[in-house]
Amino acid sequence: MKATNEPDLPESDLPESVIRRRTLKAFGWFALASVVPVGVYTWIQNSPNLAGIRKPLRKVLDVNEDIASTYFSSNHLVRTYPVEAAARVPRVNGFDGLRTPLPDDWKLQIDRQGSNGEPQEPLLLTMDDVKALPRQELVYDFKCVEGWSQIQHWSGVRFSDFMERYQLGTRSGKAPSPDTTDDLYKFVGMETPDKGYYVGIDMESAMHPQTLLAYELNGEPINNQHGAPVRLLIPHKYGVKNLKRIGRIFFSDTRPRDFWAERGYDYYLGL
C-alpha cells in the first residue's frame, strides 16, 4: 500500500529516495513473511518422533485417516471386471519378507487369547485347512502407492469366513457376529515367517467382504514372488497393505506394527 505522502507519479519519475524506501519496505515484509515458515519448519524438526516420523506430521496423517475411515463401509465394493480383462503377466513389486526361503515346515500361525486375555496355544493351519473354506474369485484394479495399477484375477477365501470358521478375532473366543461387534478386537496384525515385513489392519477393513486370503492368481497357485503359499488381498487399500507370504496372524486392541507406517506412510492407506 502506497504511503499518502508519496508523490503520485509513474514509477520511472519517482525520486530515488521514494524508490529506496519502497524497496526497503518490500524486503521488510518479505523477511517478516519468511519467519513464519522457517519457524514452523524448525518447530517440526525439533519435535519428537512418533511412529516413524515427526509428531506433527504423524498427527496430520492421523487426521487424514480419521476422515478416510468415516467414508468406509462394508457395503462399498471395489469395481470388478470380467476375467478376460485381467493382465496375463501380473506385475511383481516388493520383496521385503520374501528374501529368505519359505520354511519347509510352514504352517499358518494364528495367535489366540482366552476370554481372560491370557495367551493360548497358537492355532497352526495348513493350506488344506485354508482351502476347505468356500473359494472366492476377485478381478479388480490392484493399486500401488507408487502410482501404477493393474487389473488382476485373484482367488482365495474371505477373511471374514476364515475368522468365523476358526472363531478368531473376538475377546470371547467365539465366532464373530454382526450383533456383537463390541466383542471384536480393533486390529489385525500380520507378518511374514521371517518377520521382515508386517502390517496392521483395522478390523472393519479386515472384515470387508472383498478382503481375501488369496492363494491363486490367474487360476494358478501363486508363486514365491507374489507371496506363496497365501497372502492378504485387501482391495480397498493400497498394495503395501497386501502382505505376501503370511506366516503369523494376531489380533489386538492396539495398533500392530506396520512396515511402511514406521517409515513415514499413512497407517490406514485406504482408497
Instruction: Give 40-94 pLDDT, tens digit per residue.
Output: 556 556 677 665 665 555 566 566 666 666 666 778 999 999 999 999 999 999 9
Query: If you ran DSSP here, which 8-state letter would residue 25 be given?
Result: H
For residue 32, name the pLDDT band (cuts at 50, 70, 90). Answer: low
DSSP bridge partners of 155: 137, 216
Which of 195, 199, 172 lies closest to 262, judged by CA?
199
Query: Nearest 5 degrees, angle CA 149-CA 151-CA 156?
Result: 115
The alpha-helical segments, DSSP class H, found in 84-140 are 127-131
**pLDDT in the model for residue 116:** 77
**pLDDT in the model for residue 31:** 61
Pairing type for strands 53-54 and 212-217 reads: unpaired
Residue 222 to residues 101, 209, 219, 226, 231, Cα–Cα distance (Å): 15, 21, 9, 6, 9
Instruction: Give 109-140 pLDDT, tens digit per residue.
Output: 999 988 777 889 999 999 999 999 999 999 99
Q: 16-46 and 55-70 helices cross at what angle (nearest 10)?
A: 80
**pLDDT in the model for residue 35:** 61
User: Domain spans of the chain?
Assistant: 16-46, 68-263
Instruction: State whether residue 92 is helix, strand or coil.
Output: coil
**pLDDT in the model for residue 178:** 81
Cell numbers linked to 257: 506394527
Q: Does domain 68-263 have CATH number 3.90.420.10?
A: yes
**pLDDT in the model for residue 59:** 61
For residue 102, name the pLDDT band (cuts at 50, 70, 90). Answer: very high
Instruction: Give 221-256 pLDDT, tens digit per residue.
Output: 999 999 999 999 999 999 999 999 999 999 999 999
Instruction: Give 150-209 pLDDT, tens digit per residue.
Output: 999 999 999 999 999 999 999 999 999 888 889 999 999 999 999 999 999 999 999 999
pTM listed for this prediction = 0.78
pLDDT at residue 212 greater than cutoff 60: yes
**pLDDT in the model for residue 115:** 76
Mean pLDDT of the chain: 86
Phi, psi of 209 (to 5 degrees): -65, -15
Identify the residue with better confidence: 107 or 12. 107
